[in-house]
Amino acid sequence: MTHRFALLGGDDDAKVWDELWNDLCHQGCVYDDSFAALPFLAAIATGRAPGDREQAVLMAGLIASAADEERRARYATEIAELLPVARACLAACPADDASTFVYLTQCLLAFEGEPVWSDSLEGLFTEEFEVECPDPGCGAMPFVIFGDHAEDDEAETHPADPSELTGIAQRLHRMASEAGQTGVARGVTYLFGRATCPECDTEFSVSERVAAPATGG
């Protein structure tokens, strides 16, 4: 791993980052060895070592989202260094790049120690969340879709009123709105709204179902 980070700063950076992602966070998974990369990523993000700071923040955020209390304590210095860089990357994120904005928001939350929404927000740019119906006798896994591709056989959606959002929902909506991420802000109202299961007509909180561990087989 160390020798790969040492290759950054040259013409082959894109290839090096691809190899690092494959080795340390393959398909979004975080391994025990991934945490050892946090000091290297913090050095890149803060400019002490060559490399792309946004790539460093994105990788470090994914790793930090899987950290338990012991690992957060062990890498507290690195996480504290990465937090303001994540804020700076968010401020520089183009308004037409919803996916990067959402990923950086998850990184920010991961560095802050938010246990749920640091890795459960991708649906804000894919415009759909797959959830499990809360009715134990139903077992349906409906999609909550709120984009232009919504279909009649998906869960009926009931977005929240932005003025009634509180806590993390209010914060996410405000962040997206202030950044010009209108689609993401709209998605927040659906994530923290309600939906109706198309199979059994049970109404449920979308955010509660997204945050709940799946129990289906």
Residue range 4-39, pLDDT digits in tens: 899 999 889 999 999 999 999 999 999 999 999 999
pTM: 0.93
Q: What is the mean pLDDT of residues 78-95?
A: 98
Least confident of 24-28, 43-47, 54-58, 151-155: 151-155
pLDDT of residue 139: 86
Per-residue DSSP letters for the chain? Answer: -HHHHTTTTSTTHHHHHHHHHHHHSGGG---GGGGGGHHHHHHHHTTSSSS-HHHHHHHHHHHHHT--HHHHHHTHHHHHHHHHHHHHHHHHS-TT-HHHHHHHHHHHHHHHT-SSTTSS-THHHHTEEE---S-TTT----EEE-STT--TTSPEEEPPPGGG--HHHHHHHHHHHHTT-HHHHHHHHHHTSEEE-TTT--EEEHHHHHHSPP---
Q: Is the pLDDT of residue 174 over 50?
A: yes
The residue among 78, 87, 94 whose CA lies nearest residue 109 is: 87
pLDDT of residue 217: 40
Q: pLDDT of 117-146, one tens digit each?
A: 998 999 999 999 999 999 999 989 999 998
pLDDT of residue 213: 72
Least confident of 25-34, 74-83, 147-156: 147-156
Task: Check residues 2 and 189 and name the one with the higher pLDDT.
Answer: 189
Mean pLDDT computed over every residue of the chain = 93
pLDDT of residue 24: 94
Residues of the chain above pLDDT 70, percent: 94
Q: What is the mean pLDDT of residues 72-80?
A: 98
Q: Is the pLDDT of residue 106 over 70?
A: yes
